[in-house]
Amino acid sequence: MKKYFILCFSILGTLCMTNSTLYAQQDTVTTETIDQQFIDKAVNLNRFKVAVASQAIERSKNDEVKQFAQTLLTDHKRILEEIEQAAVAKKLVLPTKMDESHASILKSMGELSGGDLNKAFKDVVIKSHEDAIALFEIGAGENGINDPELKTWASEKIQPLKNHLESARALNVDASQAVSEALSVL
């Protein structure tokens, strides 16, 4: 449980910093680079969600978590493919690897198990979807992405992201379930 709280504080701190840079950069980014920065952040967020979902599918014993993680994996792999296709078509550069903050969170989650893993999964998915919604709303906004096709695409992804957020918030990973999981091993 102590590992879970340490992880939560580091995750939330890292993701909050990421979210605040989304808003700060909106004012300082030139029109020539905003499309590229959107692609960079969208690719990173989606790679992270795919990795977190894969980890939950592999390691969680909670059927509800595993089922939701499978939905995330399927949806975010598709979104990632769409982003990659758009980037190639628009001659934008794709990031070559996951950013360090997301890789660090993923590594920390790899040290958790049982109820702590499930709670961390829920918290991470909620925060990363809040960040993604903010990014896509900024991108689809009046001063967002310059490319009209990419802007329309970003706008179309906001509602599915909100649906994922609501599903994540509804996940049942409370303490009594963690106790039940522990007892089921006996």
Per-residue pLDDT of the chain (186 residues; tens, 9 = 90+): 555 555 555 555 555 555 555 544 445 555 558 999 999 999 999 999 999 999 999 999 999 999 999 999 999 999 999 999 999 999 999 999 999 999 999 999 999 999 999 999 999 999 999 999 999 999 999 999 999 999 999 999 999 999 999 999 999 997 544 444 454 554
CA distances from 53 to 12, 49, 74, 77 (A): 18, 6, 9, 10
Note the pTM of the prediction, 2 decimals.
0.79
Candidates 121, 126, 151, 106; CA nearest to 56 is 121
Structure tokens given for 10: 């580091």
Measure the CA–CA gap between 126 and 103, rounded to whole angstroms.
Answer: 17
How high is the pLDDT of residue 186? 46
CATH, domain 2-7+37-173, list 3.40.190.10, 1.20.1260.10, 1.10.150.120, 1.10.490.10: 1.20.1260.10
């089921």: which residue's tokens?
A: 184
